[in-house]
Amino acid sequence: CNSEVTAYIGLGSNIGDRKFQLNRAVELLKGAEKVEVTAVSSYYNTAPVGYEQQPDFLNAVVEIRTALSAYGLLQLCSEIEKELKRERIIRWGPRTIDLDILLFGNEIIYKKDLVIPHPRMHERRFVLEPLNEIAPEVLHPVFNKYIREIFHSSFM
């Protein structure tokens, strides 16, 4: 397995059939070239963070093994978002899905269009709870703390 990494993607949806939306995103990741889905967290209903005047989200985290580069994975995530936003079932109207790259192996990337680890993941229970469920022993390469430590310390 030349140059494959384990990466973690955060999924979030708060418009339309949220569960269907997350399931579709997982299916599209499973069907993607150079991507193997190795774990999917439970789906968590979470209160909106940032802008409160919107519906609750359904959030999850997916673990993948991938031979894609970080930019290749970013491209795949935006393709999946576009694909799902394009799909419309009349009764629900627009669908919303976000795919955020949380971790990409131990890589630290700080570019205008790509920052990894995700800069706000350590402040977000809607990320930490599903991530801790499937990857408590993963090390955050910037904080050098295990996900379970960050998750538990975020409730001090």
86 in catalytic set? yes
CB of 56 to ligand GSY, least distance (A): 7
Helix (H, G, I), strand (E, B) or coil at 65: strand
Enumerate binding residues for ligand GSY (CB under 6 A). 12, 46-50, 57, 59, 98, 100, 126
113 in catalytic set? no
Sign of CA dihedral 106, 144, 151, 138: positive
**Cis ω on the peptide bond leading into residue 117 (within 30° of 0)?**
yes
| In the complex, residue closest to ligand GSY by CB | 12
24 in catalytic set? no
Sign of CA dihedral 38, 72, 9, 17: negative
**Catalytic pick among 18, 24, 95, 124:** 95
CB of 87 to ligand GSY, least distance (A): 19
Nearer Cβ to ligand GSY, position 36 or 133? 133
**Catalytic pick among 86, 88, 113, 148:** 86
**Catalytic pick among 17, 24, 65, 98:** 98
Q: At what angle do helices 70-86 and 18-30 cross, to 10 degrees?
A: 140
Reading phi first (left if > 0) and then psi (alpha if -120 to 50, else beta), residue 9 is in beta
Which residue type is seen at 38? Answer: T
148 in catalytic set? no
CB of 3 to ligand GSY, least distance (A): 28
Catalytic residues: 86, 95, 98, 100
